[in-house]
Amino acid sequence: MSTSDDNAKQISPEAAGDDAAASSSEIKNKEQGNGFGGPVTLFFILGFAVSLILGWVIAPEMLYSQKKQPIDYNHALHVAEVGDGCESCHFFRADGTFSGVPKLELCVDCHEEVQGEDPNEIKFVEEYVVKEREVPWLIYSKQPDCVFFSHAAHIKGAQMDCVTCHGHIGESETSRVYEENRITGYSRDIWGKNIAGFKKNSWDRMKMDDCAECHQKEFTVQRTDVKTPINRLLDNFIAVSFPGMEAPAGIGDSVQTQRDACFVCHK
Amino acid sequence: MKIGRRSFLSFLIGGAAGTALSPMPLKLTDDSAIWTQMWPWTPVPEDGEISHVNSTCTLCPGHCGITVCKINDRAIKIEGMKGHPVNDGGICLLGVSGLQLLYGPTRVQTPLKRVGARGSGRWEKISWEAAVSEVVKQLGDLRAEGKSHSVGLITGSDRGTVPQLFARFMTAYGSNNVMRTPSMRDSYELTLQRMHGTRALPGFDFENADFILSFGSGIIDGWGSPVRMFKAFSGWRSNHGKVVQIEPRLSRTAAKSDRWIPVKPGTEGVLALGLAHVIIKEALYSSDFIDNYSVGFEDLQRLVLDKYSPDNVAAITAIDQKDIVTLARDFAAASKPLAICGRGRGSVSGSLDEFMAVHALNALVGNINKKGGVRAVSEIDYINWPEVQMDAVAAAGMQHERLDGAGSKNHPDTRSLLNRLPAAISSKEESSLQALLVTGANPLYTMPGSTAVKKAMAGIPFVVSFSSYMDETAQNADLILPNHTYLERFEDVPTPFGLQQPVTSLARPAVEPQFNTQHVGDVVIRIAKALGGSIAGAFPWEGYQTCLKETLGNKWETLMTKGFRLDDNDRAFAGQMTFDTPSGKFEFANKETGRMPQFSPIKIEGDEKLYPLVLVPYDSFRLAGGYIGTPPFAVKTVEDTVLKGKDVFVELNPETARALRLREGQHAILSTPRGQAKVKVHWFDGIRPGVVALPRGLGHTAYDKYLAEKGVNFNELIGPVEDPGTGCDAAWGIMAKLSKA
C-alpha cells in the first residue's frame, strides 16, 4: 500500500527545482486531507472508539464464561423456613472455623425425600441425595487460596453483618448466573460487575482495596509499632525538628491498609 | 477514499489511546497475577471441617499414641496423643512424617505379580482374587507334595493378633519356620527368663530412676520407646538424675549425658563385670536383696573377683582403673540406679552374657521390682484362640526341625534365628525353603550380610511380600499383596519395649484406604479359607475385624473410646518380690547350668592384619533403620557431616585419619571381609582412635528418590556373628580398612 507521502517523495526528485510542482504536491496533500478533520483524524477516532467498545464492552463479556448453578436455589424460601437466619446453614463450627456452603449431610436433614413439587428439589434429591454426591455449587464469593480470611474475626469479633460483604443474597429467589473468569477461574463477583471497578454498595466488589477501604477507615489512627531503627530515628528527628508533623509509616505498614504487614492476610 | 499509511497508524494510535482509557490493561494484569496463583501444581490445602482420630503409631516398636488431625477425609498432621502412657503428647520425627508414608510415592497400590526377572521392577497389576489364588495354588501344591515344612515366614514381630494369625496359619498349614526380625528383645527376653524366671520384656521405671548407666544404648537415639526415652531424659536433666553413657563414639546420647566413658568397642560386658567386682568387693551391694531375694550371688562373686579386677578390666576396656572404681561407687550410691544395654537402637540381638552381666548390676543394687527399678513385664494374655486342629500333613510338617535351628538341642530357649536362615538356605543345592512369606519386615535391607541374604532369597522359588511399600524385599518378591498402611487399618498394639506397665493400644484407620490394598489379617484368613480343610477350620472368623473384636472381648470398648488400656491384672509394681524361677528368687546363676555363665566376649569378623580398623554402626533419630524407609521430611534433617548428596561420611578420629593420610571430606574405600563401599571421611574427635563409624538407615535401593541410592547400607558391610549361648546375631562391628579412593 502506498500512501500520499510516498507519492510525494517519488514525485519530488523528478521535479527537482520545480517550485510549481512542489507547491502542487502540497496542495495535493491538503486535498487528500492530511490535516485535522481529514481521514487521519477519522481513523484515530475510529481506532479510539473501537478500542473503547472492545475494552469496555466486548472484552469484559468475552473474559467471563457463563455457568448455571447445578440446582436453582431459592434462598428466600429457605430463610423463611429455618429458624436461625443465615447461620442455620452457614454456621460456625465448634472450633470457630466457618462452614461456608453446607454439605449434603445438612441438606439431608430435611430433604431425605422430596417434599414439594419443585423440579429443582426433585432433581436435587434424585441426583445428589439418593446418589450421596455432594452438589458442586459454584461459589460466588470464593477468594484465592493465598489469602487468610477469618469469618469469625469479622462476624463474631467485629459484629459485621453478612450483607455487608455478601449483599442481599438471602432474599434471592433464584440462583443467578455464575460468571467465571476464563483466566483466573474465579467468580466475577470478586472484581465486581462493573468492569471499571466502581461500586455502589459495599458488597459489589471484594478485591483487596475493598478490604482495605474498611480497614483503613476503622484504623486510621492506629499504627504498627514494628519499625526499623532507621525509621525510629527518623520519627525522633521529625518529632524534634517539626513538631506536629506526622511521622512516615513503619515497615509493618501496608500501603493499602496503613496497618499490618502483608503476611497478616497473605500466605 | 484511500486508506493510507497515515490513516492506518492513526487508527492504531487511536486504538492504543482507547485501550489505555479502557479498564482492560489493569484488569488483565490483575487477572494474570491471579492466574499465576492458580497453576495446577500449586498445592492448595484442603478446606473443611477439622476432626481428630486417636490411633497408635506402629512405625517402630515404640508404639506411641497418636492423634491424626484431618480436614474432611484428608489427614493433614500427626500429633502425639495427650495422656497416652507411652508418649503423653510427644512425637518423634519419623512419627510426624508418617503422612508421607501414607500419601507418598512408595506405596504399592494394588496386588502385583512379577513379570520380568527378580528385582527388575517389571510388574503386572493383578486383582486380589488372582493374587490370593496364586498364593493358594503355590502353597496348596507344596502341601500336596508333603513339603509344607519348606514354607517360611518372616514377620516384624510375634506379638499381637496379626503376627499370631500368621503363626496360626503356619501351624495349621504345617510349618514351624516362623521367624521374627531380630532385636535386643531376643537377649533381654532370655536374660529375664534365666534371671527372673519369666520370658518377658523388661520394664524400666525410667521416670523414677536417678542414675542411668547405659552400656551403649542410644537413649535419645531411638532405643526402646523413643519418645518416652526423650521425655525421661529431659526429666533426668531437670531432676538432677545422672546419665553415664558407655560407648566408643560420642553419640547424641553421650554428648548430652553427664559422663561419657569411651570404652573400647565390644568390651562393654567386661566393664559391667568390672563394676560388679568393685560393688561386691567394697560391699556396696544391697544385702537385703542379695540375702532375701536372690540365689547364685556366690557364683557371680567368684567370677568377678577372680577375673574382673579393675586393673584387668582397665587393660581390656581401655578405661582408667580409677574411673571404673568411681563409676561403680557412684552407681551403687544412687538411690534408684538402672543399668541398661542394647547398642544404639537395639536392632541387633546381642550377646546374652553381656545382657546378663549388665542386668546383674541392677540386681546387685537391689533395684528390681521397685519404683524406679526394673521388672519383668508379662504379655497381656488376651489372645485365647482355640488350639489348632492339625491334619496329618500339618502334624507331619510340624515334626520337621526348624531350618534356623532355634529351639533345637543347642539353643533350646531361642525361638527364632533369622540370622541363620541365609546360610541354611544356601548350604544346599535345592533351596530348603520353597516358599517364603514376608510381612512387616524387610530382611533384604535390615539383615546383616544383606548381600548373602539377597543371594539366598534368589534361590527361593516363591517369595510373597505383604508390604505396603515397595521396599527391597518387595522389589525382589514374586508377588506383592499390599497391606493397608498403619493409618488405614485396625490392629492391636502390645506393650512397647521397656515400658514398666503393660498396656494394649489400638491402631485404627484414620483415613479410608487410599489404594486397592487389603488388611493383611483379612488376606491371611482369606488364604486359609481358600486352602480349605483343617486350615480353614482354624480360622472361624469372617474377617480380621471380627477376629480382633472377638479376641479383645470387653477390651474393645475401652480401646475404641480411649485408644489404649492398662492391664488390670498386672501385679503391683512396688514391693512384689516374687520370681517365677525354680528357686522363687532372682537367679544370678542359673540352677540348671549351676554357675554364672563364663563371660565370653564376642569376637568380630575379620583379620586384624588385613583389617586394622574396627567398623561400628550408629543410629540416629533422623534415619529410620528398620523396615520402614526414612520419609523425605526426615531425610532433609540429616546433617551435611553424615550425608552430602549421595555420599555418606564415616567418622574417623583425626589421629587415625592423619596416620592413614585421609583429609576431611576426602573420598575413601571402606572395606570389610563382607564387602566394600565408597565413602567420605569426616574427622571427628568424638570417636576412639582406630574405630570407624557408619550410620545405619542409608544405602537403600528401594523407596523414593529422596532416600534411594544415598549412602551405604551398613548391613552390606557386616555379617552375623553368632552368640554361642543363644545362636543369635551378636555382631557389634566388623574389622575394616580404609584406603584412598
Residues of B in contact with A145 (CB under 8 A): 37, 42, 44-45
Quick one: cell of B735? 574389622
Q: Which stretches of chain B sit within 8 Å of chain A by CB? A: 1, 3-8, 10-19, 21-24, 26-28, 30-32, 34-35, 37-38, 42, 44-45, 47, 49-50
**Are both A96 and A139 inside the same structural domain?**
yes
Mean pLDDT for B529-557 is: 95
3-state secondary structure labels for all residues of B398-427 = HHCCCCCCCCCCCCCCCCCCHHHHHHHHHC
**Are both A34 and A93 inside the same structural domain?**
no
**Full domain range(s) for residue A102:** 67-211
User: B71: buried, middle or exposed (CB in 10 Å: 19+, 13-18, 0-12)?
Assistant: middle
Distance in angstroms (rounded) separating the CA atoms of residues B260 and B688:
12
Query: What's residue A12's pLDDT?
Result: 44
Residues of B in contact with A42 (CB under 8 A): 7
Q: Beta strand pairing status for B667-672 and B734-740?
A: antiparallel
Query: What's residue B5's pLDDT?
Result: 86
Q: What are the tens digits of pLDDT across the range A42-91?
A: 899 999 999 999 999 999 999 999 999 999 999 999 999 888 889 999 99
Query: What's residue A20's pLDDT?
Result: 46
- For residue A60, give the nearest of B464, B310, B223, B30 by alpha carbon: B30
Residues of B in contact with A93 (CB under 8 A): 49-50
Judge: B10–A47 Cβ closer than 8 Å, yes or no. Answer: yes
Distance in angstroms (rounded) separating the CA atoms of residues A177 and A189:
11
- Asked if B480 contacts B108 with a C-beta cutoff of 8 angstroms, the reply is yes
How much of chain A is in helix, strand and coil states, percent to nearest 5? 50, 5, 50
pLDDT surpasses 70 at A247: no
End-to-end CA distance of chain A: 55
Average pLDDT for chain B: 93
- Position A200 confidence tier, pLDDT thresholds 50, 70, 90: very high
Q: Which of residues 113-152 of A touch B (CB under 8 A)?
A: 144-146
Domain boundary residue, one of A48, A64, A80: A64
Bridge partners for B55 per DSSP:
B66
Indicate the helix (H) or strand (E) that contains B79.
strand B74-80
For B112-182+385-566, give the CATH class: alpha beta
Neighbouring C-beta atoms of residue A200, cutoff 10 Å: 9
**Are both A71 and A195 inside the same structural domain?**
yes
Judge: B35–A184 Cβ closer than 8 Å, yes or no. Answer: yes
Residues of B in contact with A185 (CB under 8 A): 38
Give the one of A32, A42, A51 whose C-beta lies nearest to B22's C-beta: A51
Q: What are the tens digits of pLDDT across the range B182-199?
A: 999 999 999 999 999 989
Length of chain B measured in residues: 741
Query: What's residue A218's pLDDT?
Result: 66
- For residue B39, give the nearest of A144, A147, A179, A264 by alpha carbon: A144
Minimal Cα–Cα distance from A46 to chain B, Å? 6
Residues of B in contact with A56 (CB under 8 A): 22-23
Q: What are the tens digits of pLDDT across the range B292-314?
A: 999 999 989 999 999 999 999 99
Cell 504379655 -> residue: B379
- Asked if B692 contacts B653 with a C-beta cutoff of 8 angstroms, the reply is no
Judge: B15–A47 Cβ closer than 8 Å, yes or no. Answer: yes
Residues of A in contact with B38 (CB under 8 A): 144, 184-185
Judge: A40–B10 Cβ closer than 8 Å, yes or no. Answer: yes
Neighbouring C-beta atoms of residue B486, cutoff 10 Å: 23
- Position B633 confidence tier, pLDDT thresholds 50, 70, 90: very high
Question: What chain A residue is nearest to B29 in terms of C-alpha separation?
Answer: A183
Partner B contacted by A1 (CB < 8 A): yes
Judge: A195–B14 Cβ closer than 8 Å, yes or no. Answer: no
Residues of A in contact with B35 (CB under 8 A): 183-184
Residue B462's φ and ψ, nearest 5 degrees, are -140, 115
Give the one of A42, A146, A197 whose C-beta lies nearest to B23's C-beta: A197
Give the one of B4, B8, B34 whose C-beta lies nearest to A144's C-beta: B34
Question: What chain A residue is nearest to B47 in terms of C-alpha separation?
Answer: A99
**Are both A155 and A227 inside the same structural domain?**
no
Question: What letter would DSSP give residue B122?
Answer: -
Q: What distance lies between CA B197 and its chain's CA centroid?
A: 26
Residues of B in contact with A186 (CB under 8 A): 34
Percent of chain B with pLDDT over 70: 98
**Are both A143 and A226 inside the same structural domain?**
no
Judge: B37–A144 Cβ closer than 8 Å, yes or no. Answer: yes
Judge: A48–B15 Cβ closer than 8 Å, yes or no. Answer: yes
- Asked if B92 contacts B79 with a C-beta cutoff of 8 angstroms, the reply is no
Kindly report the pTM of this predicted structure: 0.85
Judge: B7–A183 Cβ closer than 8 Å, yes or no. Answer: no
- For residue B216, give the nearest of B372, B354, B311, B373 by alpha carbon: B354
What's at B369, amino acid-wise? N
**Are both A112 and A189 inside the same structural domain?**
yes
Partner B contacted by A62 (CB < 8 A): no
Judge: A56–B22 Cβ closer than 8 Å, yes or no. Answer: yes
Q: Which of A3, A51, A95 to mutate to test the interface with B (most CBs of B within 10 A)?
A: A51
Quick one: cell of B159? 506379638
Q: Beta strand pairing status for A64-67 and B503-507?
A: unpaired
Bridge partners for B213 per DSSP:
B244, B339
Distance in angstroms (rounded) separating the CA atoms of residues B412 and B106:
40
Mean pLDDT for B664-675 is: 96
Neighbouring C-beta atoms of residue B591, cutoff 10 Å: 14
Question: What chain B residue is nearest to A191 in terms of C-alpha separation?
Answer: B27
Give the one of A3, A40, A183 whose C-beta lies nearest to B32's C-beta: A183
Q: What are the tens digits of pLDDT across the range B64-108?
A: 999 999 999 999 999 999 999 999 999 999 999 999 999 999 999
- For residue B621, give the nearest of B278, B251, B126, B133 by alpha carbon: B251
**Are both A206 and A90 inside the same structural domain?**
yes
- Asked if B504 contacts B567 with a C-beta cutoff of 8 angstroms, the reply is yes
Q: Which of A2, A3, A93, A188 to mutate to test the interface with B (most CBs of B within 10 A)?
A: A3
Minimal Cα–Cα distance from A21 to chain B, Å? 22
Bridge partners for B78 per DSSP:
B68
Q: What is the ipTM of this complex?
A: 0.75
**Are both A34 and A110 inside the same structural domain?**
no
pLDDT surpasses 70 at B523: yes
pLDDT surpasses 90 at A35: no
Judge: A185–B37 Cβ closer than 8 Å, yes or no. Answer: no
Local structure of B2: helix, strand or coil: coil
Length of chain A measured in residues: 267
Q: Beta strand pairing status for B74-80 and B65-71?
A: antiparallel
What's at B554, amino acid-wise? N
Q: What are the tens digits of pLDDT across the range B204-217?
A: 999 999 999 999 99
Residues of B in contact with A40 (CB under 8 A): 6-7, 10
Distance in angstroms (rounded) separating the CA atoms of residues B418 and B185:
14
Neighbouring C-beta atoms of residue B305, cutoff 10 Å: 13
**Are both A134 and A253 inside the same structural domain?**
no
Query: Which CATH architecture best describes the domain B613-740?
Result: Beta Barrel (2.40)
**Are both A59 and A71 inside the same structural domain?**
no
Bridge partners for B344 per DSSP:
B217
When comparing pLDDT for B731 and A210, which is higher? B731
Question: What chain B residue is nearest to A38 in terms of C-alpha separation?
Answer: B7
- For residue B243, give the nearest of B269, B261, B266 by alpha carbon: B261
When comparing pLDDT for A255 and B726, which is higher? B726
- Domain extents in chain B: 5-36, 112-182+385-566, 185-196+208-337+350-377+573-587, 613-740
Indicate the helix (H) or strand (E) that contains B740.
strand B734-740
Minimal Cα–Cα distance from A215 to chain B, Å? 22
Radius of gyration of chain B (CA): 29
Question: What chain A residue is nearest to B26 in terms of C-alpha separation?
Answer: A196
Query: What's residue A230's pLDDT?
Result: 66
When comparing pLDDT for A213 and B651, which is higher? B651
Quick one: cell of B31? 487477572
Domain boundary residue, one of A42, A64, A86: A64
Q: Which of B11, B46, B69, B70 to mutate to test the interface with A (most CBs of A within 10 A)?
A: B11
- CATH number for the region B185-196+208-337+350-377+573-587 comes to 3.40.228.10
Query: What's residue B258's pLDDT?
Result: 96
Cell 519419623 -> residue: B94
Give the one of A34, A95, A183 whose C-beta lies nearest to B50's C-beta: A95
Question: What chain A residue is nearest to B31 in terms of C-alpha separation?
Answer: A184
How much of chain B is in helix, strand and coil states, percent to nearest 5? 35, 20, 45
Distance in angstroms (rounded) separating the CA atoms of residues B393 and B485:
34
Judge: B5–A99 Cβ closer than 8 Å, yes or no. Answer: no
**Are both A172 and A233 inside the same structural domain?**
no
Widest distance between CA atoms in chain A: 99
Question: What letter would DSSP give residue B116?
Answer: S
Radius of gyration of chain A (CA): 31
Distance in angstroms (rounded) separating the CA atoms of residues A194 and A205:
9
Residues of A in contact with B37 (CB under 8 A): 144-146
Distance in angstroms (rounded) separating the CA atoms of residues B196 and B206:
19
**Are both A20 and A84 inside the same structural domain?**
no
When comparing pLDDT for B276 and A31, which is higher? B276
Distance in angstroms (rounded) separating the CA atoms of residues B57 and B64:
5
pLDDT surpasses 90 at B590: no
Mean pLDDT for B137-147 is: 95
C-alpha angle with apex B210: B96 to B625, nearest 5 degrees?
A: 30
Indicate the helix (H) or strand (E) that contains B738.
strand B734-740
Domain count, chain A: 3
B603: left (phi over 0), alpha (psi -120 to 50) or beta: beta
Q: Which residues of A166-180 are buried (b: 16+ CB within 10 A; e: fewer)?
A: bbebeeeeebeebbb
Judge: B4–A49 Cβ closer than 8 Å, yes or no. Answer: no
What is the signed CA dihedral for B269, B275, B278, B282, rounded to 10 degrees? -130
Quick one: cell of A155? 462476624
Chain A with chain B: Cβ pairs closer than 8 A:
124
